[in-house]
Structure 1
Amino acid sequence: MAKQTLLEIEGLRVSFRIGDDYYAAVDDVSLAIGENEVVALVGESGCGKSALALSIMGLHPPEKTKIEGRLHFKGTNLLSLSVAELNRIRGKEIGMIFQDPLTALNPLMTVGRQIEESMDYHLRLSAAEKKKRTIVLLRKVGIPEPEKVYHRYPHELSGGMRQRVVIAIAIACEPALLIADEPTTALDVTIQAQIIGLLKELQRQMKTSIILITHDLGVVAEMADRVAVMYAGEIVELADVDTIFHRPLHPYTRSLLQSIPSAQTKKERLHVIQGIVPPLHKLPRRGCRFQPRISWIGADKHESDPKLREVEPGHWVRCTCYQHFYFPDDQKVGGIGHGAS
């Protein structure tokens, strides 16, 4: 049974002002998020993942940002709403787990007060009801002795505990959509596993949809239903998680997977993607944006105006260069990537 669409992104373009010009960090992105679905956005730093998320939340500074396209949430275009109308959705219908819990939390406010803030705006509860709900939330996200933590300040907690507090704030009003922006960054491996386990359990309990932003493909394999691979502001491949990991097509996706260390790489050189993600002001106006990093594939093998196309049901790829791609050394030691087609 097909899942009903909760969020539909159509032709989204997010441009930032640099000097006298605007440059697109997110360019012509279209993506649908179904109810009770986890969609991962993956790619190198600077590919547009967080810029996309912040545009959904309406958190880009308007004086420096130009946003075009449509963001339909439950049938309403978020980009057409006033600040007051958007505030009624942010925190209640759409929650966000920010990347760094230390900077996301107010150092001058207790944990309990920060969780209660969103309830003040969205829920009509008495002080006693808010406190009771907050302690239940702290317990739900796995914080021991929630009655004591309620009165503590962020600096008194470990990094893992602070991340749990940020998650509690994000789910305080039981949002239909949760955006998790690098939720395991800067946490040690054990705590990362606990946070991922927590998010999976919360998603199961609350039936919420999640946009998971990460560059950690292990987290993607653990949590996601579908994966959108982004490069230089564009989605270059979109498919279910099994297809992305075992039958990837786009050269960038295959290169990312090839770069994953595995047991076979103990005595082998790790695969490295040549070059770097180009800065916004140097992005090519036309053509395949990944072409400079796979220079051994001739320019004639790339489309001059590549579009995201469905190559099989549910599997979308940008540019036909994937039909000609191969790794020049034909090594397959770095993870799950494929060799020559």
Structure 2
Amino acid sequence: MDFNKKINAFITLGKFLEQFSNNGIIKKENIEKNDLFFDIFQDQINLAYLRNSWFTKKEVLFACESWSEALKEENITTWLAKYNLTYSKEPKNIAIIMAGNIPLVGFHDFLSVLITGNKAIVKQSSNDNVLLPILAKYLQEVCEDFKDCIVFTDDRLPEFDAVIATGSNNTARYFEYYFKNKPSIIRKNRNSVAVLNGNETEAELRLLGEDIFRYYGLGCRNVSKLYVPEGYDFKKFFESIFIFSDIINEQKYANNYDYNKAVYLMSQFKLLENGFLMLKKDESFSSPIATLFYEEYADSAHIRKILTNKKDDIQCIVGNLADFITIDFGKTQKPQLWDYADNVDTVDFLLKI
């Protein structure tokens, strides 16, 4: 196996994906295998929405933009610099059981398995099974080393050496039992939070709206909960995120908004809302679509204690908070290759099998 050939194949894939953007879908010259795959992939983008109406063209194209950026040579080089990737061991068969909440959500696991010289046995969610297979075929066309390294299955998994599985808390319990005799990474429900101090600028709060509304809030990296100082005035927050108000024109989002609002009102819960987002005071993390939970904190010691105690429930923390690894406003759905889900280093796991 040629390590550099595989890296170059993913760089080439990034250039291919760069053609599919919310700024326009534009066929470029000198993109390898473009005549074979450009029109097909454009059709798959449309098919993804027909199969799953949360996967609007705008959101799928955002995912393409994000991955085209991540797969630039400098990003891949930085990501892999600390690892010893010699391909000296026999390739392992790695089962990847993917979630389906956002477009191409399992791509990082797929990339990690292949770049470490292993074989990927992919079991996709029915909610997101349109885009990755065509990208896999593209990789196989630009790099023959991938020809025998990728298998997609809808049935029982064939023989495998290790597994990476992502699902809900309920399915994770099943995974932990079923895969107890195999090396594994099992991911459960996690959510992301933002910690506000009341001094955020309008620009920062607008960017926070991106963290909340991108992919309609369906991703584990989407902010589903706010921590705010006691007595926090939400007026500036609501004014700043008003640029996202068009989201209520998306029928599925609007249906969820109306349904959850009716449930809350019948239950006599107190709500703050602006016509496209509801704020509910709640200690939970996983808020329903069109709802953001919030909780007040007394001081910096209080919020640090909360975040420490709840660390296993949190994927990302947005905000300006010392002593914690935080993400800048607006960046939760633009992770780098080295930003591992659940802070579990997938490449290190694969290299130790």
Asked if Structure 1 and Structure 2 have the same fold, meaning a TM-score greater than 0.5 normalized by the shorter chain, the answer is no
Q: Which has the higher helix share?
A: 2
Q: What's the TM-score once normalised by structure 2's chain length?
A: 0.23
Q: Which has the higher strand share?
A: 1
Q: What's the TM-score once normalised by structure 1's chain length?
A: 0.24
The one of the two structures with greater contact order (alpha-carbon pairs below 8 A, sep at least 6) is 1
